Structure 1
Amino acid sequence: MSILISLFIFDISISSRSLLGFQFFCFQRNTASITTMSGTRKKALLKVIILGDSGVGKTSLMNQYVNRRFSNQYKATIGADFLTRDVNIDDRTVTLQIWDTAGQERFQSLGVAFYRGADCCVLAFDVTNAASFKSLDSWRDEFLIQASPRDPDHFPFVLLGNKVDLESQRAVSSKRAQSWCQTKGNIPYYEVSAKEALNVEAAFLAIARDALARESQETNDFPEFPDQIRLNPNQQNQQNSGCNC
């Protein structure tokens, strides 16, 4: 069973006085990751959202994972953008559709358009910036409100503490971050460095597993339908051959 969801996304260039342009595109979300009655194992397309304050390294983490590159030049994300990468999990091919969202407050009103349909939410903060850590509660609550998952108490979150390569500037201890995770249902926590590619692969593999587990659970909540429905035209003609008078 495949569901196609078309979503208008705004790629907004904003000056101090005016909106300069819009770019619209659609994305496809495939929730058919089960073995159908015909025995065909279908590919899973999973949507992952990365949230966090501006400047914590969301774009850098995504680019490091997908493109294996890092840039020291900072450019704030406008609206949202996404990249995809295929991974193999337990002999399954899974396409991760990773959404990088703007951390600036002026774009948070667009959240409902981006959050819906997510299979996992990644919360990111900068270990050298205590304020970005304090914002995690707001980001998590906002996601649950906007995305409206069916089971918010068990929706998969993963926490990433970025920029651990700047250990001498650390403002948030690992113990403090782990304690926060425990208060949120023991969500997984990974300390990563987009710059040094430290722990990025392991973190996103865990993210993919969590997203796939949720997607599989969502699929099991619905009855399974056959792949094809065959109509017999001869039978239909026989039924219509009688007199209607």
Structure 2
Amino acid sequence: MPSRRRTLLKVIILGDSGVGKTSLMNQYVNRKFSNQYKATIGADFLTKEVQFEDRLFTLQIWDTAGQERFQSLGVAFYRGADCCVLVYDVNSMKSFDNLNNWREEFLIQASPSDPENFPFVVLGNKVDVDGGNSRVVSEKKARAWCASKGNIPYFETSAKEGINVEEAFQCIAKNALKSGEEEEIYLPDTIDVGTSSQPRSTGCEC
């Protein structure tokens, strides 16, 4: 009989304002997309339950504002993160160039115990715009950057069309598992029947 323990996994989404962070989160959690752009003020989060190998996990996805004046809010929201998602717009070189700043900012604010191995995932969003004709950041360039930072998993997405969103967040959840197993929430009125100590594969084939 599988354990009914539930683990909370905290995921932070970072990137410049307007790259589609909120849209990606809403597409994944609610299967919805809005053409009306509304800047996130401060931070917001959505949750979604996911299941891996008979275990239930609650993915808590934090969407932080891209505007610099809200970055001072960072510390409280970054701490305890299990995975960080870096998002840029494939049609904006500036948003791609800023990925390094967002990554460094996260490592400073979150202070993970093992920064060298902390799981990041990079999403190149808005691949649907203008049929791909207006993109300025090539997939090759993005993958080279990810490789230089320790082979970060990379996905090209469209929050509007739902392209690769589900696959990307499955990878994000698997990567979060690598650092998020210790924070378990026990469901009420259940008996812990014990779990196998067998190691579980959480590798992400992306």
- The TM-score normalised by the length of structure 1 is 0.72
**Superposition pairs of residues 72-221 of structure 1, within 5 angstroms:** 72-166=35-129, 167-216=132-181
Once residues 81 and 43 of structure 2 are traced to their aligned partners in structure 1, the CA distance between those partners, rounded to angstroms, is: 14
CA shift digits 1:128-148 (9 cap, x unpaired): 000000000000000000000
Q: Which residue number corresponds to residue 20 of structure 1?
A: none
**Unaligned ranges ≥5, structure 1:** 1-38, 220-226, 228-245
Question: For residues 89 and 158 of structure 1, what CA distance do their matches in structure 2 show?
Answer: 19
Distance 2:171 2:3 in 1: 26
Secondary structure at 2:59's aligned position in 1?
strand
Select between 109-118 and 85-94 the one with higher mean Cα deviation: 85-94
Aligned residues: 181
Query: Distance between the aligned counterparts of 2:97 and 2:26, measured in 1?
Result: 25
Deviation of 1:40 (Å): 4.3
Unaligned runs of 5+ in 2: 184-191, 193-206
Report deviation, 1:214: 1.7
CA RMSD of aligned residues (A): 1.3
Give the 4+ runs in structure 1 shifted more than 3 A.
none
1:48 aligns with 2:37: no
Deviation digits for residues 67-89 of structure 1 (CA, Å, limit 9, x no counterpart): 10000000000000000001111
Q: Determine helix, strand or coil for the equivalent of 1:86.
A: strand
Q: Is the 8 A contact 2:8 2:180 kept in 1?
A: no
- 1:69 maps to amino acid: K
Q: Which has the larger radius of gyration?
A: 1
SS at match of 1:78: coil
In structure 1, distance between residues paired with 2:76 and 2:27: 25
Deviation by residue 1:23-79 (Cα, 9 ceiling, x = unmatched): xxxxxxxxxxxxxxxx84410110000000000000000000001000000000000
Question: Which structure would you say has the larger RCO, counting Cα contacts within 8 Å and 6 or more residues apart?
Answer: 2
User: Match of 2:145, as an amino acid?
Assistant: W
Percentage of pairs with the same residue? 71
